[in-house]
């Protein structure tokens, strides 16, 4: 018995550590994505999100003011400015050649033709020459700088107002809410009928629903789209609502039927003895008692529809007025692959709503899944 108890304790520890590892694998990238969405573009390109609270060092190239704009001071022509612009930081080295970007220390003097170039630690630079400087392009300065952490809301402003994500967010909500509610309503009625109503062919219907759970939805995309076009639906919201409803119904009916079939028979039979119809029993008894199962399926369906790209592309299209969040992020990834701060903000805007839905209803998810997995009739 001691050996059995010791083995069980080790198994519990193994399970707990495995769950903790899975939680960290999901949580850490999400946390990093959130931090990156608030970071400055230059810093996110040169350092990881885990260094967001510390100063970062990077090499930059800046151009001075135009040589022909130099001012004469005591017979010397001078150009001056600051490599940080309106920002702040510390210069640790500078150079005037791309092959030797750290050749000079701050406040040292570098000679370029007949011009003397100095860059101070605070970023202030001065270029002086005894003869007038010519040219319309500024002189290149290669500077190694250490900058404090930068956090900004500009990324979200760009995403929500300049990149069309706001419209895509509304489009996704327009698709997701009806595509979640409609299959729940239909599946609840069907589940009650399959669980508590006697009619010919009930067993065959249950078997068919179980079989549909393993059918890949990709097989039905083109035939269903042809059907929509033939009846005049085309690529519109009504069509994608029907598509998501059809693809979600097998799981919904299976889950709800198992849960409803496990409800106490005495309650339902007592209601029928008192003269209640099947509709009244369903509406006033079964539906309130089945809320955990309804909520668990609602979470699955909402997350699936919200994160869907394939069905939305086939049944809704890619025009600007109907583009959903996943389609918009795909376009951003294609056209702005180097703007990681924009992609991070876009991704977090996309997952924010599913996170709220999941954490709000997770207790119902566990209750519904556990109950539906062990009860049947």
Looking at the DSSP bridge assignments, the partners of residue 202 are none
Q: Give the number of other CB atoms < 10 A from CB of residue 198.
A: 6
Distance CA 288, CA 291 (A): 6
Of 252 and 371, the one with more pLDDT: 252
Q: What angle is formed at CA 38 by the lines to CA 33 and CA 42, rounded to 5 degrees?
A: 95
Q: Classify residue 243 as exposed, middle or buried by CB count within 10 Å of its CB (0-12, 13-18, 19+).
A: buried
Q: Say yes or no to pLDDT of 6 above 60.
A: no
> Is the predicted pLDDT of residue 134 greater than 90, yes or no?
no
Residue 96 has pLDDT above 80, yes or no: yes
CA–CA separation, 95 and 59 (whole Å): 10
pLDDT on residue 289: 86
Largest CA distance in the chain: 110
Tens digits of residue pLDDT in 217-229: 888 888 888 888 8
Cβ atoms 95, 144 nearer than 8 A: no
Write the CA distances from 162 to 27, 307, 341, 342, 344, integer angstroms. Answer: 29, 22, 14, 11, 15
Tokens linked to 22: 């899975």
Scanning 106-201, the segments in alpha helix (DSSP H) are 154-157, 165-196
Q: What is the DSSP string of 290-328?
A: THHHHHHHHHHHHHHHHT--HHHHHHT-S-TTT--HHHH
| Chain centroid to CA 127 | 48
> Using 50, 70 and 90 to split pLDDT, how confident is the model at 187?
very high
Residue with tokens 């249950």: 206
Res 1: pLDDT: 47
- What is the chain's mean pLDDT, rounded? 83
The interaxial angle of helices 165-196 and 325-335, nearest 10 deg, is 140
Predicted confidence at residue 352, as pLDDT, reads 82
Secondary structure (DSSP) of 221-277? HHHHHHHHHHTT--SSHHHHHHHHHHHHHHHHHHHHHHHHHTS-HHHHHHHHHTT--
Please report the pLDDT score of residue 7 as a whole number. 62
Q: Say if strands 140-147 and 90-95 run parallel, antiparallel, or are unpaired.
A: antiparallel
Residue 181: half-sphere exposure toward Cβ, Cα within 13 Å = 6
DSSP state of 151: B
How far apart CA 256 and CA 375 sit, in angstroms, is 11
pLDDT value of residue 175: 93
Highest mean pLDDT, choosing among 7-21, 173-187, 336-350: 173-187
| Digit-coded pLDDT (tens) for 243-298 | 999 899 998 998 888 888 888 888 888 888 888 888 888 888 888 888 888 888 88
Closest CA to 294 of 243, 260, 246, 245: 260
Query: Within a 10 A sphere around the Cβ of 121, how many other Cβ atoms?
Result: 14
Lowest average pLDDT, out of 2-11, 201-210, 351-360, goes to 2-11
* pTM given for the model: 0.69
CA distances from 137 to 65, 124, 134, 140, 350 (A): 8, 19, 9, 9, 43
In which band, very low, low, confident or very high, does the pLDDT at 186 lie, cut at 50, 70 and 90? very high
pLDDT at 161: 77
Predicted confidence at residue 348, as pLDDT, reads 82
d(CA 142, CA 135): 19
Contact 297, 187 (CB under 8 A): yes
| Nearest partner of 209 among 188, 227, 184, 191, judged by Cα | 191
């Amino acid at each position: 018995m001691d050996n059995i108890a010791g083995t069980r304790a080790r198994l519990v520890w193994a399970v707990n550590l495995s769950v903790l590892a899975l939680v960290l694998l999901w949580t850490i990238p999400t946390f990093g994505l959130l931090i990156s969405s608030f970071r400055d573009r230059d810093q996110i390109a040169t350092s990881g999100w885990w260094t967001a609270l510390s100063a970062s060092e990077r090499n930059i190239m800046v151009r001075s003011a135009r040589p022909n704009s130099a001012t004469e001071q005591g017979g010397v022509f001078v150009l001056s400015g600051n490599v940080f612009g309106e920002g702040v930081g510390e210069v640790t080295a500078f150079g005037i050649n791309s092959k030797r970007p750290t050749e000079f220390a701050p406040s040292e003097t570098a000679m370029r033709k007949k011009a003397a170039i100095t860059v101070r630690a605070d970023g202030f630079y001065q270029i002086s020459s005894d003869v007038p400087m010519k040219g319309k392009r500024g002189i290149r300065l290669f500077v190694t700088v250490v900058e404090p952490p930068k956090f900004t809301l500009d990324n979200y402003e760009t995403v929500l107002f300049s990149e069309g994500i706001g419209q895509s967010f509304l489009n996704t909500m327009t698709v997701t809410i009806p595509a979640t509610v409609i299959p729940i309503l239909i599946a609840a009625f069907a589940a009650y009928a399959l669980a508590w109503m006697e009619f010919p062919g009930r067993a065959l219907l249950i078997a068919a629903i179980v079989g549909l759970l393993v059918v890949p939805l990709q097989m039905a995309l083109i035939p269903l789209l042809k059907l929509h076009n033939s009846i005049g639906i085309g690529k519109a919201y009504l069509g994608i609502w029907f598509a998501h409803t059809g693809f979600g119904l097998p799981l919904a009916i299976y889950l709800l039927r198992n849960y409803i079939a496990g409800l106490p028979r005495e309650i339902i039979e007592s209601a029928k003895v008192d003269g209640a119809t099947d509709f009244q029993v369903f509406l006033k008894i079964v539906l309130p008692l089945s809320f955990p199962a309804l909520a668990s399926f609602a979470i699955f369906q909402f997350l699936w529809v919200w994160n869907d790209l394939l069905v939305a592309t086939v049944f809704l299209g890619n025009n600007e007025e109907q583009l959903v969040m996943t389609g918009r992020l795909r376009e951003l990834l294609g056209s702005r692959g180097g703007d990681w701060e924009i992609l991070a903000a876009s991704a977090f805007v996309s997952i924010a709503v599913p996170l709220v839905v999941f954490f709000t209803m997770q207790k119902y998810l566990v209750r519904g899944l556990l109950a539906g997995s062990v009860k049947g009739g």
